[in-house]
Amino acid sequence: MDITNLKAWEIREKILNKEISSYEVTEQFLEKIDEVEDEINAFITIDADRALDEAKKVDEKIAQGIEIGILAGLPVAVKDNIMTKNLRTTCASKMLEKYIPPYNATVVEKIKKEDGIIIGKTNMDEFAMGGSTETSYFGITRNPRNKSIVPGGSSGGSAAAIAANEAALSLGTDTGGSIRQPASYCGVVGIKPTYGLVSRFGVVPMSNSLDQVGVFGKDVKDAYLALKSIAGFDPHDATSSKRAKLEELNFDEVSLKGLKIALPKEYDELRVKGDEKIRVVFENSIRVFERNGAKIEYVSLPYLKYALETYYLISTAEVSTNLSRFDGIRYGHRAFEYKTLDELYINSRTEGFGEETKRRIMMGTYALSQGYKDEHYKKALKIRTLIKNDYDRIFKDYDVILSITSPILPFPFDSVINSPVDMYKADTYTVPVNLAGLCAISVPMGEVDSLPVGLQITANRFNEKTLFTAAYGYERSANDEL
């Protein structure tokens, strides 16, 4: 039996019922990695030996009847911008090619505490900047659904690892869609939780006011299980919330009946050329909600149309300072040749960072510079507040907002990447969620031209329970209707 095909929650039950050992599970996933990794390249680093050791320990615990965590024996792939003690963490950059962290991110500690098995570190766009995983220093990741197509990004490796059965669950980070878009492209479920639900301690920031750690799974229940393990207040992260807790949800009792759904009409104005086929699939999924008793209404969020520009001003400004610490002095890449201190900085950073990273650092530095700061960075902060206010108003009357996850289909390598602005436009539906600190999930809603497309469901801050209710209700109904 190929256990890697199963959902994480199914594997978990088999381990708990002692149908299969944790060791065997890890072994099977490692075999799968061996089999497909040459082609997929979802991982930057695979930690096979340690994973097997850890799996053995879980088996011992089970044998001794010691209470085990909720991820007991499940192989988890971790995006390579999340610190893992004594396990190389590169951010897919030459800058950190050889960086071995001396500490674990809080989310990694939590996974270990819940007896999850960290199987390896996944590929991504360099420092999480990009939507195709093509900016990685460690080569491209192929979409398991179609090998000539990108997996999306920036958490492309984590999404591909799930789609290719290389891990039971995976962690990603989402700053403007970096979990939801690759989930959509790879045909898996990906959730970006509310800002403050999951600790960012030990997660290399891209844009620290927008970043949030989230998870990938084969289905909604998997995503719930994974998120449950990492959610919670962390005293080491001042932005993590004291109310951070994922509420219990009885999936058997989930119903879409009476769910109040909002459809922002501004999304019609923001349409991207060529999204017609995706729109058709989206209309069909709205009908699924309707047929199951949800109420759907059109609403207006007037400031939504400025979200993309706002996002790119704030995120690049934050990128520019967040990446300042990579200066070649204490760790990371240091240029071989330099004569002065300035040259040490300039040469190290010129050599260590890739093109997209440098582009964003420069944009952000510009947005913060004297004479430009007021009309760029500061104005963007104001519009961000207005966008937040728009959402707050909508969520007084509605439970969730529906949209497509990405307005463009998963694309071939070397295509969109050559036009940064088109790449940025692919984030149209995902970035407003980060600006407002909301939670959102992407669930598969069908296919266009044999490529997966995702449905994005958005809920209010710390309303993950409603989000999972809507997502699971949809997933179950859509499957039933097949």
- Active-site residues, by number, are 79, 154, 178
In which element (H, E) is residue 175 found? none
| CA–CA separation, 4 and 433 (whole Å) | 32
- Which residue bears the tokens 């199987």? 119
Q: How many residues make contact with another protein (CB under 8 A)?
A: 45
Closer residue to another protein (CB): 321 or 415: 321
Asked if 327 interacts with another protein (CB under 8 A), we say: yes
First and final CA of the chain: distance in angstroms?
A: 26
In whole angstroms, the minimum distance from the beta carbon of 236 to another protein comes to 6
Positive or negative, the CA dihedral 439, 262, 470, 444 is negative
In whole angstroms, the minimum distance from the beta carbon of 378 to another protein comes to 9
Asked if 312 interacts with another protein (CB under 8 A), we say: no
Asked if 238 interacts with another protein (CB under 8 A), we say: yes
Asked if 151 interacts with another protein (CB under 8 A), we say: no
The stretch among 10-18, 21-29, 234-242, 251-259 that binds another protein (CB under 8 A) is 234-242
Asked if 236 interacts with another protein (CB under 8 A), we say: yes
Asked if 76 interacts with another protein (CB under 8 A), we say: no
The answer to whether 192 and 175 are in contact (CB under 8 A) is no
In whole angstroms, the minimum distance from the beta carbon of 173 to another protein comes to 11
| CA–CA separation, 152 and 131 (whole Å) | 5
Interface mask toward another protein for 259-278; x: CB under 8 A = --------------------
Closer residue to another protein (CB): 141 or 320: 320
Asked if 82 interacts with another protein (CB under 8 A), we say: yes
The stretch among 80-88, 215-223, 286-294, 408-416 that binds another protein (CB under 8 A) is 80-88
In whole angstroms, the minimum distance from the beta carbon of 79 to another protein comes to 12
Closer residue to another protein (CB): 147 or 236: 236
Q: At residue 226, what are phi and psi to the nearest 5 degrees? A: -65, -45
In which element (H, E) is residue 371 found? none
The answer to whether 408 and 275 are in contact (CB under 8 A) is yes
Interface mask toward another protein for 353-372; x: CB under 8 A = ------------x--xxx--
Burial class of residue 419 in the structure, from the number of CB atoms within 10 Å of its CB (0-12 exposed, 13-18 middle, 19+ buried):
exposed
| Token pair of 417 as six digits | 């990447």
Q: Which of 452, 453, 474 is nearest to 399 (CA)?
A: 474
| CA–CA separation, 309 and 434 (whole Å) | 13
Task: For residue 170, give every residue at least 6 positions away whose Cβ sits within 8 Å of its Cβ, in sequence order, or none.
Answer: 76, 77, 78, 79, 122, 155, 158, 159, 161, 162, 215, 216, 217, 226
Q: Which residues bind another protein (CB under 8 A)?
A: 81-83, 89, 91, 96, 99, 101-103, 105, 200-205, 208-209, 235-239, 317-318, 320-321, 323-327, 329-331, 341, 345, 365, 368-370, 373, 377, 381
